[in-house]
A and B are shown apart, each in its own frame.
Chain A
Amino acid sequence: MSIYSYLMLRFEVVITLIIFILLVLKLNDADKKEKSLLIGINIMLLLNFIVGLLPMAEGNLFMGFFRSNGLLVLQKNILNLGLLLISLTSYNYLLKNNNRIEFYILMLSSMLGVFAMLSSGHILVLYLGLEMSTIPIAALANFNKSMKNSSEAGIKLILSSAFSTGILLFGISLLYGAVGNLSFENIQANLQLNELTLLAFAFILGGFAFKMSIVPFHLWTADVYEGSPVAVTNYLSVISKGSVIFVFISVLYSIFSSFTDAWLYAITILSILSMTVGNLFAMRQQNLKRFFAFSSIAQVGFVLVGIAGASKIGLTSATYFVLIYLLSNIASFGVISAIFDATGKETINDYKGLYKSNPYFALILAVSLFSLAGIPPTAGFFGKMFLLTSSMGNGMYVLLAFAAINIVISLYNYLRIVKTMFIDDAVEVLPVVGRNFGMKMALAVCTIGIIIIGFVTPLFQYIDVLSIVK
Chain B
Amino acid sequence: MSTYDIAALLILLLPILSFAGLSFLGKRITPCTAGIVGTTVLFVAAGLALFTAYGYFFQFGEVAGAYAHHTSLEINWLQFNENLSINLSIILDPISVMMLVVITVISAMVHLYSFKYMHGEERFATYYAYLALFTFSMLGLVVSGNLFQMYIFWELVGVSSFLLIGFYFTKPSAIAAAKKAFIVTRFADLGFLLGILMLSYGAETLDFFVLIERLTQPDSVYLASFTATSFMGLSALSWGLLLVFTGGAGKSAMFPLHIWLPDAMEGPTPVSALIHAATMVVAGVYLVARLFPVFAISAPDALAIVGYIGVFTALFAAVIACTQTDIKRVLAYSTISQIAFMMFALGVAGWGEEKAEGFTASMFHLFTHAFFKALLFLGAGAVIHAVHSNEMKDMGGLRKSMPITHITFLIACLAIAGVPLLSGFFSKEAILNAAYHGNPMIFYVALLTSGLTAFYMFRLYFRIFWYKADEHGHHNHEKGMWAMNLPLIILAIGAAFTGYIPFGDFVSADGKPFELPFHLTFSIAPVLAGVIGIGIAWMMYSKQNSNPDKVSASFGRFYNWAYHKFYIDEIYLFVTKKVLFNLVGRPAAWFDKNVVDGMINGYASITSTTSEAIKGMQSGRLQTYTLFFLGGVLVVAILLIVNFI
Chain A residues near B (Cβ < 8 Å): 148, 151-152, 155-156, 159-160, 163-164, 167, 193-195, 198-199, 201-203, 205-206, 209-210, 216-217, 219-220, 223, 261-262, 265-266, 269-270, 277, 280-281, 283-284, 313, 375-377, 381, 385, 388-389, 392-393, 400, 404, 407-408, 411-412, 415, 419, 423, 455, 457, 460-461
Partner of A313, one of B81, B155, B629: B81
In whole angstroms, how far apart are the Cα atoms of A455 and B186 in the complex? Answer: 21
Partner of B621, one of A223, A280, A408, A415: A223
A389/B636 in contact, CB under 8 A:
no
Partner of B616, one of A148, A206, A412: A148
* A262 in contact with B640 (CB, 8 Å): yes
A-B contact pairs, 19 of them (CB 8 A): A148-B616, A156-B622, A159-B622, A160-B622, A193-B644, A195-B641, A195-B645, A198-B644, A206-B629, A209-B632, A270-B636, A280-B584, A280-B588, A375-B155, A376-B156, A392-B198, A423-B175, A455-B77, A457-B79
Whether A219 pairs with B617 at a CB distance below 8 angstroms is: no
Give per-residue flags for B154-192: 1 if the beta carbon is below 8 A from chain A beta carbons, else 0. 011001000000000100000100010001001100100
Q: Which residues of A contact B1 (CB under 8 A)?
A: none
CB distance from A75 to the nearest CB of B (A): 21
Q: Is B637 an interface residue (CB 8 A)?
A: yes
Task: Beyond A216-B631, A392-B197, list 19 extra A-B contacts (CB 8 Å).
Answer: A151-B617, A152-B617, A152-B618, A156-B621, A160-B629, A164-B629, A198-B640, A202-B633, A202-B636, A206-B629, A219-B625, A219-B629, A376-B156, A385-B193, A392-B201, A407-B190, A408-B186, A408-B190, A460-B78
In the assembled complex, the CB of A352 is this many whole angstroms from the nearest CB of chain B, namely: 14
Do B589 and A283 touch across chains, with their CB atoms under 8 A apart? Answer: yes
A-B pairs, 10 with minimum CB distance:
A202-B637, A206-B633, A284-B589, A219-B625, A280-B588, A216-B632, A376-B155, A202-B636, A262-B644, A198-B640
With a cutoff of 8 Å between Cβ atoms, the chain B residues found around residue A219 in the complex are 596, 624-625, 628-629
Residue of B nearest to A164 (CB): B629
Contacts A151-B617, A389-B197, A411-B183 given; does A457 touch B629 at CB 8 Å: no
Question: Residue on B with the closest CB to A461?
Answer: B79
Q: Residue A377 contacts which of B80, B152, B624, B637 (CB distance < 8 angstroms)?
A: B152
Q: Are B194 and A404 in contact (CB under 8 A)?
A: yes
CB < 8 Å neighbour of B640 from A202, A284, A381: A202
Q: How far is the CB of A163 from chain B (nearest CB, A)?
A: 5
Q: How far is the CA of A163 from the CA of B175 in the complex (A)?
A: 49
Q: Is A269's CB under 8 angstroms from B639's CB?
A: yes
Q: Which residues of B are at the interface with A, using a C-beta cutoff of 8 A? A: 76-81, 151-152, 155-156, 159, 169, 175, 179, 183, 186-187, 190, 193-194, 197-198, 201, 584-585, 588-589, 592, 596, 614, 616-619, 621-622, 624-626, 628-634, 636-637, 639-641, 643-645
Q: Which chain B residues lie closer than 8 Å to A193 at the CB level?
A: 644-645
Q: Let me know if B81 and A203 touch, CB within 8 A.
A: no
With contacts A160-B629, A163-B629 taken as known, whether A400 is within 8 angstroms of B194 at the C-beta atoms is yes
Contacts of A376 in B (CB 8 A): 151-152, 155-156
- Tell whether, in the assembled complex, residue B625 and residue A220 are in contact, meaning their CB atoms are under 8 Å apart: yes
Which A residue sits closest to B634, measured CB to CB? A202
Question: In the bound complex, what is the Cα–Cα distance between A92 and B78 (angstroms)?
Answer: 40
Contact residues in A for B629 (Cβ distance below 8 Å):
160, 163-164, 167, 206, 210, 216-217, 219
B178 to chain A, nearest CB (A): 10
User: Chain A binding site: helix, strand, loop or mixed by DSSP?
Assistant: helix
Out of A194, A270, A277, A457, name the residue touching B645 (CB < 8 Å).
A194
Q: How far is the CA of A312 from the CA of B57 in the complex (A)?
A: 46
A152 and B619 CA atoms in complex are apart in Å by 9
Which residues of the other chain, B, contact A201 by a CB distance below 8 angstroms? Answer: 640
Docked-complex contact B641 and A388, CB < 8 angstroms: no
Beta-carbon contact of B585 and A284 below 8 Å = yes
Chain B residue nearest to A422 in the complex (CB): B169
B616 engages A152 (CB within 8 Å):
yes
Say yes or no: A404-B636 contact (C-beta < 8 A), given A195-B641, A216-B631, A313-B81: no
Is the pair A199, B641 in contact by a Cβ cutoff of 8 Å? yes
Name the A residues within 8 Å of B614 (CB-CB): 155
A277 to B454, CA, bound (A): 52
List of A residues within 8 angstroms of B175 by Cβ: 423
Inter-chain contact A265/B592, CB cutoff 8 Å: no
Residue on B nearest A381 in the bound complex, by CB: B155
Tell me which residues across on chain B come within 8 A of A151, comparing CB atoms.
Answer: 617
Tell me, in angstroms, the Cα distance from A457 to B85 when the chains sit together: 11
Q: Are B585 and A393 in contact (CB under 8 A)?
A: no
Chain B positions within 8 Å of A198 at CB level: 637, 640-641, 644-645
- Pairwise interchain contact A457-B639, C-beta atoms closer than 8 A: no
Instruction: Please state if A280 and B585 are interface contacts (CB–CB under 8 Å).
Output: yes
> Within the complex, what minimum Cβ distance (angstroms) separates B332 from chain A?
24
Q: How far is the CB of B372 from chain A (nearest CB, A)?
A: 33
Neighbouring B residues of A277 by C-beta, 8 Å: 588
A265 touches B156 (CB 8 A): no
A-chain residues with CB within 8 Å of residue B630 when the two chains form the complex: 167
Which A residue sits closest to B182, measured CB to CB? Answer: A415
Among A210, A284, A385, A388, point to the contact of B592 (Cβ < 8 A): A284
Give A262 to B596 CA distance when docked, in angstroms. 31
How far, in whole Å, are A223 and B616 apart by their CA atoms in the complex? 13
List chain B residues, Cβ under 8 A from A262: 640, 643-644
Contacts known (A164-B629, A388-B197); A283 close to B186, Cβ less than 8 A: no
**Pair B201/A393 contact, Cβ less than 8 Å:** yes
Q: Are the CB atoms of A205 and B636 closer together than 8 Å?
A: yes
* Cα A205 to Cα B589 with chains together (Å): 28
Whether B79 and A261, one on each chain, are in contact in the complex, defined by CB atoms closer than 8 angstroms, is: no
Cβ distance B141 to chain A, nearest Cβ, rounded Å: 13
CB proximity of A207 to chain B, nearest CB, Å: 9
Taking a contact as CB atoms under 8 Å apart, the answer to whether B617 and A266 are in contact is: no
Q: Which of chain A's residues has its CB closest to B645's CB?
A: A195
Chain A residues in 8 Å Cβ range of B201: 392-393
Residue of B nearest to A270 (CB): B636
Closest to A216 in B: B632
Instruction: Tell me the complex Cα distance, A455–B151, Å.
Output: 14
Chain A residues whose C-beta falls within 8 Å of the C-beta of B641 in the assembled complex: 195, 198-199
Q: Do residues B645 and A217 form an inter-chain contact, with CB atoms below 8 A?
A: no
Residue of B nearest to A312 (CB): B81
Which of chain B's residues has its CB closest to A203's CB?
B633
- Distance in angstroms between the alpha carbons of A283 and B593 in the assembled complex: 13
Q: How far is the CA of A372 from the CA of B588 in the complex (A)?
A: 22
Please name the residue on chain B nearest to A400 by beta carbon: B194
A371 CB to closest chain B CB (Å) equals: 14
Q: How far is the CA of A195 from the CA of B639 in the complex (A)?
A: 11
Task: Please tell me which one of the listed residues A155, A194, A283, A377 contacts residue B588 in the complex, with CB atoms under 8 A apart.
Answer: A283
A202 to chain B minimum Cβ distance, whole angstroms, is 4
- Chain B residue nearest to A384 in the complex (CB): B193
Chain B residue nearest in CB terms to A419: B179
Chain B hits for A155, CB < 8 A: 614, 617, 619
Cα–Cα, bound, A194→B645 (Å)? 6
Contact B640 A281 (CB under 8 A): no
A377–B193 contact, CB under 8 A?
no
The interface centre, meaning the residue of B79, B151, B186, B626 with most chain A CB atoms within 10 A of its CB, is: B626
Q: Inside 8 A of B640's CB, which chain A residues have their CB?
A: 198, 201-202, 262, 265-266
Q: Are B585 and A283 in contact (CB under 8 A)?
A: yes
Closest chain B residue to A405, Cβ basis = B190
Which of B584, B621, B644 contacts A261 (CB under 8 A)?
B644
> In the complex, are the beta carbons of A217 and B628 less than 8 A apart?
yes
User: What are the residues of chain B within 8 A of A419 when measuring CB–CB?
Assistant: 179
Chain B nearest CB: distance from A418 CB in Å? 10
Minimal beta-carbon separation of B123 from chain A (angstroms): 15
Kindly provide the distance from the CB of B551 to the nearest chain A CB, expressed in whole angstroms: 42
> In the complex, what distance in Å separates the CA atom of A152 from the CA atom of B155?
45
Interchain CB contact under 8 A, A160 and B644: no
Neighbouring B residues of A199 by C-beta, 8 Å: 637, 641
Contact A389 B585 (CB under 8 A): no
Chain A min CB distance to B185 (Å) = 12
Q: How far is the CB of A265 from chain B (nearest CB, A)?
A: 6
Q: Which residues of B contact A148 (CB under 8 A)?
A: 616
* B626 surroundings in chain A (CB, below 8 A): 160, 163
